[in-house]
Chain A
Amino acid sequence: MDKNKILHAAIVIIFLVLSFVINKIPDGTFIAGGDYYQLININDNINRNLFTWFNQAGQGQYNPLVVAYPFYLIQYILYNSGFSYANIANTLMFLFFIGSFYSFYFAIKIINANIPDYIRILSSAIYAINIFTFTVLSYPWWITHHFIIYLFIPSLFAFFERIMTRFSKKDIASFTILFLISTMGFNNIAFLAALLFLQLLLLIAFFAAGKINLDIQTTKKALFVFILQLFLSIYFILPYFTSQLEYIPKITGGKVLGDIASLFSWTSNDAYSILSFTMYNDKYPLINLYSSSKLFIAISLGYIIFLIIALLSQEKKQEKNWLHYSIVLVLLLFLLMRGTVPFDSINIFLYSLPGFNLFRSPDKLFVFYPFIYLTLLSLLLFYSKFPKRIISCILVFLLVIPFPFYVGGIPEYLSHEDENGYRFTVQIPPEYYKIESIINSDDRQLSVISLPYSVVNSLNWANYPGWHFVGHDVLHLLYNKSYISANIYDHPALETNLSFKEYNEANNVDTDKFLGLLQKFNGKYVILHKDINKYWLDNSKVIYTTIKELEMKNIVKKLDENDYFTLYELNQNYLVPLIWSDKNYLYFQKNNPVKYNLNINIKEKTKIEFHQAYNSQWKLYLEPNPDNSWCKPIEYYKNTRTTECEHAQKIFDAGDLTYLLEKPVFEDTHTMVEGYANSWTIDPEYIKANYPKEFYKESRDGSIELGMVLYFKPQSYFYIGLIISGLAFIWSIIYIVRDMRRR
Chain B
Amino acid sequence: MNSLLNSSVKNNRTDKEPAIYWPSSSYPFLIALILLAGTAVILFTEDKKLAEELAIYAYYFLVVGVIFRFIEQHLPAPKGLSIPDRSRMNKWLNTKALKAMPETIFKIILCMSQLILKLISLSIRKMVDVIKWLYAVIPQLSSAMIKAKKGMSDTLHNPLGKRTRQSGTNFQKAIAMISDTSRNIAIFLSVFLLISLVYGLVIDWWPVRRYLPNLILVIIGFLALHIFTRRSLTG
Residues of A whose CB lies within 8 Å of any CB of B are 3-4, 7, 114, 116-119, 121, 208-210, 270-272, 275, 294-295, 297-299, 301, 304-305, 308-309, 311-312, 314-317, 319-320, 323, 326-327, 330, 333-334, 337, 340, 342, 345-346, 349, 352-354, 382-383, 385, 388
Contacts and interface: CB of A to CB of B under 8 A. Distances in A.
A316 B21 contact: yes
A345 B124 contact: yes
B43 A272 contact: yes
B43 A298 contact: yes
B33 A312 contact: yes
A117 to B, nearest CB: 5
Given A117-B3, A388-B7, 9 more contacts: A116-B10, A272-B39, A275-B58, A305-B37, A311-B65, A312-B26, A312-B30, A316-B83, A319-B72
Contacts of A354: 207
B73 A7 contact: no
A473 B8 CA distance: 57
B18 interface: yes
Contacts of A349: 124, 210-211
Nearest to A320: B73
Interface stretch (B49-57, B96-104, B153-161, B219-227): B49-57
Contacts of B106: none
Given A117-B4, A301-B40, A326 B83 contact: no
B165 interface: no
Given A316-B19, A330-B62, A117 B1 contact: yes
Contacts of B69: 319, 323, 326
A255 B151 CA distance: 58
Contacts of B63: 330, 334
12 contacts: A116-B10, A117-B4, A117-B6, A118-B2, A209-B73, A270-B55, A272-B52, A298-B43, A304-B36, A315-B18, A316-B83, A319-B69
Contacts of A315: 11, 13, 18-19, 21
B221 to A, nearest CB: 16
Given A301-B36, A349-B211, A327 B44 contact: no
Contacts of A382: 10-11
Contacts, number: 141
A275 B11 contact: no
Contacts of B52: 270-272
A4 B1 CA distance: 8
A319 B77 CA distance: 14
A634 to B, nearest CB: 53
Given A114-B11, A117-B1, A385 B18 contact: yes
Contacts of A119: 10
B3 A275 contact: no
A118 B11 CA distance: 13
Contacts of B8: 116
B70 interface: yes
Contacts of B36: 275, 301, 304-305, 308
B92 interface: no
Contacts of A272: 39, 43, 51-52, 54-55
B41 to A, nearest CB: 7
User: 7 closest pairs, A vs B, by CB?
Assistant: A272-B55, A298-B40, A385-B18, A271-B55, A118-B4, A3-B3, A319-B73
Nearest to B7: A388
B32 interface: yes
